[in-house]
Amino acid sequence: MKILIVGAGGREHAIAWKLSQNEKVEKIFIAPGNACVEMLPNAESVNLGSIDEYISFAKDNNVELTVVGSEELLVQGIVDEFHKNGLKIFGPDKKAAILEGSKAYSKDFMKKYGIKTAVYEIFDNSEKAKEFLNNWKDFPVVIKASGLAAGKGVIIAQNLDEAIKAVEDIMVDEKFGNAGNQVVIEEFLDGVEVSILSFTDSKVIVPLLSAKDHKKIGEDETGLNTGGMGVISPNPFVTDEIFEKFKLDIMEPTLKGMQAEGMDFAGVIFFGLMITKKGVYLLEYNMRMGDPETQAVLPLLENDLLELIEKSFDKKLSEIKVNWKPLHSCCVVAAAGGYPESYKKGDEITGVLDFKETEDNKVFICGAKVENGKLLTNGGRVLNAVALGNTLEEAQKKAYELLKTINFEGMYFRKDIGGRF
């Protein structure tokens, strides 16, 4: 089997790594490419950009399965176009991808189908949004760009001045481009964030192991939002009781809503949750594997990933029992100095190309390239150090020990992923 993976980050490396364990997989193409091909058997980077290029490549190279990591192409309708060309692709069509592509749409979807979420209002006019905020009493308040903003379009405003500035940044100054044509203003939920990836065949939703993401660039959750600076799995705050509340109040009505709206696909739904004193709330949907959650969760998965995907296409996910290693996972992101703002590229990375993977230690490449036999930085988030342990503390310790063997100029990582220890 030949597989094409769409995307270029650590998530795609982790997906390729997991899929490569199936003996049926002969070749894995990653586009627009990832230096991880130096570390995986039978993997190759291919430089593709437009949906038409992906379709032509899949046809010309007898690709039997395409797996999409990139949210942008999902929202643009890559799944619909592949289907028109008789190609098998894992991910939501355009109709379902809007659950991630428009926060305004997804909030209205949650309200329509009784899914527990924060109180909100939607605005497509900055003056009306500011007028609404002038009457808002309960700060902090959350301001979200409705469209795709690479995980960075959410601002928690502590007071009215910050809230007004957030609206101006998003809607007037277009800090996130067209993603800010609409904003969602919603109540701030105080609690613990949870990420739950899941597979769906549109008949059932099968949740994977819970995770806890660390979004801020600074320790103790300070500073600017990022695409994610590290993850632990399972999330220690997700008790059996919390998980049952999630299924009852969020997962099951989501499935009913998808079916009612005619969303029919084989793919992933990522639930971003908040555990509060008042219960479990849904913050947002992502319609693909999360990054860096995928890098922490997949190493704990005992099942064959390709089998899960194939059962999704066959609408037989209900037949699968998902099994997990009885371990904890810690993923720490090493970033270029200056990220998430301006940062340098082209610095040599040592300790990765000659890294010997073990059952407990993995390195996934996010933003790097190979030139003249050397691995060089080529993005804001450069790589992930992932370790497994019998306890969270053991996994943390191993991940940070692993990072000591890797180096590049300006390398930055948070030292509190999973909590202080």
- Neighbouring CB atoms inside 10 A of 312's CB total 23
Residue limits of CATH 3.40.50.20 in the chain = 2-91
Cβ contacts of 1 within 8 Å, gap of 6 or more: 22, 24, 25, 26, 64, 65, 306
SS3 5: strand
Give the pLDDT score at 159.
96
Residue limits of CATH 3.30.470.20 in the chain = 191-319
Q: Are 94 and 77 in contact (CB under 8 A)?
A: yes
Residue limits of CATH 3.90.600.10 in the chain = 328-404
Identify the CATH class of 2-91.
Answer: alpha beta
Q: What separation in angstroms does the CA of 302 have from each of 321, 323, 398, 400?
A: 10, 5, 21, 24
CATH fold of 125-181 reads Dna Ligase; domain 1 (3.30.1490)
Q: Are 392 and 417 in contact (CB under 8 A)?
A: no
SS3 93: coil
Tokens of 284: 């947002």
pLDDT beneath 50: ranges in the chain: none
- Neighbouring CB atoms inside 10 A of 248's CB total 12
191-319, superfamily in CATH?
ATP-grasp fold, B domain (3.30.470.20)
Among the listed residues 198, 219, 216, 217, the one whose alpha carbon sits nearest the alpha carbon of residue 207: 198
C-alpha–C-alpha distance, residues 405 and 385, integer Å = 10
CATH architecture of 328-404: Alpha-Beta Complex (3.90)
Residue limits of CATH 3.30.1490.20 in the chain = 125-181
Q: Mind listing the pLDDT tens digit for each residue in 329-352?
A: 999 999 999 999 999 999 999 999
- Neighbouring CB atoms inside 10 A of 373's CB total 7
Q: Mind listing the pLDDT tens digit for each residue in 375-403?
A: 999 999 999 999 999 999 999 999 999 99
C-alpha–C-alpha distance, residues 237 and 256, integer Å = 27
Give the pLDDT score at 421.
53
Give the pLDDT score at 162.
95
Residue entry with tokens 């094409």: 4
